[in-house]
Chain A
Amino acid sequence: MDSSVPDFVLFLGRFHPLIVHLPIGFLFFAFILELYGSWNKNSMLSIPISVALFCGTISAFLACALGYMLSLGGDYDQNMLDTHFWFGIATTIVAFFAWAISSGRLNISKFKYLKTNIATLTLVVFLLSITGHYGGNLTHGSDYLLKYSPFGRKEKVELPTVTHLNEAVVYEYLVNPILEAKCISCHNSSKMKGGLSLQDSLGMVKGGKNGEAFIAGDVDNSEMLRRVMLNSNHKDYMPPEGKTPLTDEEKSILIFWVDKVNADFKLKMADLEASEEITSIASTMLGLEDISGKGGITLPKSQTIDSEVLSEIEDAGFVIRELIFESGLYEIVLVPKSITSKNGDDLEVNLEKLLPIKDRIIWLSLKDNFVQDKHLKTISKFKNLQKLEIEKNPITDSGVSELSASQNITGLNLYQTKITALSFENFTKMKGLQRVYVWGTSITQEQVDNFVSKENRPAIILGI
């Protein structure tokens, strides 16, 4: 805070937003009385009008004085402040003249044909509105008023969606959204509380009155982080009481940005080494649910699925379970023995029903349902599948080869199928594959030992 300004002046200055409503009320009221009086030719109103104008002038003067004191604190954008300042003074002066005219102390005979009373009052209201508007912009920010207006609304510049975490610029995609949600209503370029603006990189680098907000690599001395990390009862704690505090995850992201990204504005996740925790928080923030926990395979973004589509799938005999609430990601189960060799042709038709949500199926279980090789061609289209249970089905090696392009499957259950060791080659093509269950097939322990002895091979699980 500017030390040359005594605290008492600032204390008084803070009453400006309170007092400022008095002249607004008085002067508007005078205007309304004037209109009403001239409409029904009631000359009795001239006294209340001049009283209202008198009170309005005095309180406007007071508001100006207090406003000046408040401005000495220096929390505001200078240009906008100047405009507000001069319009405020103009309003006060014109109001004074309006009072002088209406009370008869000033007689401007030259303008006999002009209704001086109405004219000056109209001017007062006009000036008052402009002053008030600028005042509002100073306190709430210039985009406050029209943010939710139905017309002429500027669409916020949407960041292009990232499909993989590595493409995300840390500042743009992770840091800025947090600041926008929790900080910039008070720290923007027009309302710079504590002299700090977090609206753009310029203001962030500049910092505030109490020092640099972000010091690359130095979490402890970065004023912004110091304040958000304080105990919420501390007087320096940010955001102040009544505003939504930052969550632990948001704090972690900010710390990561200052500490590991050196408060850089351009670096992408790909350029950095992030801990599991950060990857997982970041994935959630971007709607890329992180499943492997290691930032490897990412899930598609949340999306609502039409309930009619789901009903049709359920009618086809599938059980649907949403894996994460309102994510539109599903586990699909066909109850064992729904399909047997007798109605084997139905399966193809049923599987077609799944195609509208093919990218939303993460787990699929078709065990013991007479699944044949041809059906796996359809299943291979489910590109986000991670777990596939197709045990106890007449599947052969050629069926498994259909799956060789499914890179996201981590667990594959082929227990009691007709596959042989020839399928091993296809397993190596499936890059995400970690575990394959092959008990009850012709595959022997020896073949398995031989296969897994090499690097980067999925575990092949046999039984007794």
Chain B
Amino acid sequence: MGNHHDKLRSNNRDLQDIERQFDRREFFKKTSLGIGALALNSLLNPEKLWSAVDPLAGQQNIQAKNKLGMPHHLPKAKRIIYLFQSGGPSHLDLFDYKPKLTDMFGQDLPDSIRAGQRLTGMSADQTAFPIAGSTLNFKQYGESRAWVSDAMPYLSEVVDDLCFIKGMHTDAINHDPAITFFLTGSQQPGRPSIGSWVSYGLGSDNNNLPTFISLVSNNGSGQPLYSRLWGNGFLPTEHQGVQFRSGKDPVLYLGDPENYDGNDRRQMLDYLKKLNGIAYDAYGDPEIKARIAQYEMAFRMQTSVPEVTDTSDEPDYIFDMYGPDSRTPGTYAANCLMARKLLEKDVKFVQLFHQGWDQHDNCPGGIKHQSKNTDQGTAALIKDLKQRGMLEDTLVVWGGEFGRTVYSQGQLTATNYGRDHHPKAFTMFMAGAGVKPGFTYGETDDFGYNVVKDPVHTHDFQATLLHLFGIDHERMTYKHQGRRFRLTDVHGHVVKDILS
């Protein structure tokens, strides 16, 4: 900052010092609007003076924590575990049972259903669109009589705790834009992720761990994931999600090197903080404060992370519940167990990613394989949260970025078919805090192609998620480049019908 146009600066030593405190942007920001706004703000509300400038001040005092005026209403959820199924799981082979398709197996999809909808380049030039009813068996379970295919035997045991949304639809048809859209509200990269928004709006409940943690399982593979999916976009850096690596060491370099006792680390950090403080006084850049906060967080994580990621004291019956995979660090099941431990420590937003739900070919086999890796972990997590009473205020979300087509991509045989991306209808489910248990909302047509009742758009889902946290999605904004941004942009309606 500032240094890149040093040649243009004055030769006078005293003036140089002053000049160095501002670069052009900072100068305009501070002199034109900054000071005026600050003065007005202090006039209107004297206690709030300086509050926006100092991100650290808020951590201590309850009054200070609430600067942004949130929550707007009484929250239902204190924390969330978002099980993101990357790739677009087939709703037709898991939850959205369409018995009529068995009789129509192999017939061409009627044009009236597709209605000229654009397809991906992968199946757009197919000469026929043969209907592929699921070859998996569906049964009804629980008191709620919810349909689940036999790919998910464990999940079928907990359907009475789930709230299925069968009328989901989204805007994007390919993975990258669709995931980015789902998790940041925009198909173009650059916006903050949902977890960052929640962290920004509500702050942390545990000062020793990050507010937002993401975990990517190592037993799924497929379309890549990007750090922007848990990134902070234009929000202050301390709101970005911290990715825990899958494997033995979830966070690298937390342990001390050999022969170092760590005794003078506190001293080292204090000096570093002093240095950063000098830089902050000179430039007033809030990112410096964010950096100081991150160093402090890392220091506290040296003790808090090993403690929370250590599963050795979990009894065998818990491991058995999550399945054999749960003993292998980094798998989906192990991450589910770790997620529960993080949630117990009041980490507000935990997001799991599991890749590989992209069944363009060999759909029945692929779905079974994916389900085998995730089904038991998901169901166990819900049961485990419930028996500990945590489902009371923890929101569980399961879903991908879109659904899959009813017609077969590639060749259709009696036992095998593929399915292309389908944004116009798919299924998600939620459970826990504030959503109706044992409930199904929305309906698709007989082909599972279009939503015919109670559609829920991606933005509606985002609005509802924020609503459960006590946030009005229309009122949580952040001003960037002269415009106030929202997670839901200018869209989104809270789906009140699924709220308990």
User: Separation in Å of the B314 CB from the closest CB of chain A?
Assistant: 13
- Contact across chains for A324 and B389 when beta carbons are under 8 A apart: no
Q: Looking at the complex, which one of B61, B71, B386, B499 makes contact with A325 (CB distance below 8 Å)?
A: B71
Closest to B380 in A: A464
Q: Given A293-B499, A464-B321, check contact A324 B388 (CB 8 Å).
A: no
- Contact across chains for A326 and B388 when beta carbons are under 8 A apart: no
In residues 72-119 of chain B, which contact A (Cβ within 8 Å)? 72-75
- Contact across chains for A463 and B387 when beta carbons are under 8 A apart: yes
Contacts of A362 in B (CB 8 A): 74
Cβ of A449 under 8 Å from chain B? no
In residues 275-331 of chain A, which contact B (Cβ within 8 Å)? 276-277, 289, 291, 293, 299, 307, 310-311, 314, 319-326, 329
Contacts of A333 in B (CB 8 A): 205, 346
Q: Looking at the complex, which one of A314, A320, A324, A413 makes contact with B392 (CB distance below 8 Å)?
A: A413
- Contact across chains for A314 and B383 when beta carbons are under 8 A apart: no
- Contact across chains for B389 and A413 when beta carbons are under 8 A apart: yes
B404-444: CB near A (< 8 Å → 1, else 0) gives 00000000000000000000000000000000000000000
- Contact across chains for B75 and A323 when beta carbons are under 8 A apart: yes
Closest to B500 in A: A293
- Contact across chains for B205 and A437 when beta carbons are under 8 A apart: no
- Contact across chains for A321 and B205 when beta carbons are under 8 A apart: yes
Closest to A319 in B: B205
User: Separation in Å of the B389 CB from the closest CB of chain A?
Assistant: 4
User: Separation in Å of the A362 CB from the closest CB of chain B?
Assistant: 8
Contacts of B263 in A (CB 8 A): none
A333 to B75, CA, bound (A): 16
Interface residues of chain B: helix, strand, loop or mixed (majority): loop
Q: Looking at the complex, which one of A299, A461, A463 makes contact with B74 (CB distance below 8 Å)?
A: A299
Contacts of B185 in A (CB 8 A): none
Q: How many A-B residue pairs have CB under 8 A?
A: 77
Cβ of B495 under 8 Å from chain A? no
A363 to B321, CA, bound (A): 30
- Contact across chains for B470 and A323 when beta carbons are under 8 A apart: yes
- Contact across chains for A387 and B388 when beta carbons are under 8 A apart: no
Cβ of A411 under 8 Å from chain B? yes
Count A-side interface residues using an 8 Å CB cutoff: 35
Contacts of B70 in A (CB 8 A): 325
- Contact across chains for B387 and A464 when beta carbons are under 8 A apart: yes
Q: Looking at the complex, which one of B72, B388, B470, B500 makes contact with A437 (CB distance below 8 Å)?
A: B388
Contacts of B393 in A (CB 8 A): 363, 387
- Contact across chains for A289 and B317 when beta carbons are under 8 A apart: no
- Contact across chains for B66 and A437 when beta carbons are under 8 A apart: no
Contacts of A289 in B (CB 8 A): 73-74
A299 to B75, CA, bound (A): 13
- Contact across chains for B74 and A324 when beta carbons are under 8 A apart: yes
- Contact across chains for A322 and B387 when beta carbons are under 8 A apart: no
Contacts of A463 in B (CB 8 A): 383-384, 386-388
Q: Given A387-B392, A413-B389, check contact A324 B72 (CB 8 Å).
A: yes
- Contact across chains for B73 and A411 when beta carbons are under 8 A apart: no
A437 to B386, CA, bound (A): 8
Cβ of A435 under 8 Å from chain B? yes
Cβ of B286 under 8 Å from chain A? no
A289 to B71, CA, bound (A): 13
Contacts of A325 in B (CB 8 A): 66, 69-72
Q: Given A289-B74, A291-B74, A319-B205, check contact A326 B66 (CB 8 Å).
A: yes
Cβ of B127 under 8 Å from chain A? no
User: Separation in Å of the B120 CB from the closest CB of chain A?
Assistant: 40
Contacts of B389 in A (CB 8 A): 389, 391, 411, 413, 415, 435, 437, 461
User: Separation in Å of the A366 CB from the closest CB of chain B?
Assistant: 13
Closest to A459 in B: B437
User: Separation in Å of the A353 CB from the closest CB of chain B?
Assistant: 14
A411 to B61, CA, bound (A): 28
- Contact across chains for B71 and A415 when beta carbons are under 8 A apart: no
Q: Looking at the complex, which one of A310, A324, A435 makes contact with B470 (CB distance below 8 Å)?
A: A324
Cβ of A439 under 8 Å from chain B? yes
A441 to B74, CA, bound (A): 31
Q: Given A323-B470, A324-B72, check contact A415 B392 (CB 8 Å).
A: no
Cβ of B62 under 8 Å from chain A? yes
Contacts of A326 in B (CB 8 A): 66, 69
Cβ of A462 under 8 Å from chain B? yes
A363 to B499, CA, bound (A): 19
Closest to A276 in B: B496
Contacts of A324 in B (CB 8 A): 71-74, 470
A314 to B65, CA, bound (A): 13
Q: Given A289-B74, A324-B74, check contact A461 B387 (CB 8 Å).
A: yes
**Given A324-B72, A387-B393, 6 more pairs with CB closer than 8 A:** A289-B73, A307-B61, A310-B62, A311-B61, A415-B389, A461-B387
Q: List 7 A-B contacts (CB under 8 A).
A: A293-B500, A307-B61, A310-B63, A333-B205, A415-B387, A435-B389, A437-B392
Residues of chain A whose beta carbon lies under 8 Å from any beta carbon of chain B: 276-277, 289, 291, 293, 299, 307, 310-311, 314, 319-326, 329, 333, 362-363, 387, 389, 391, 411, 413, 415, 435, 437, 439, 461-464
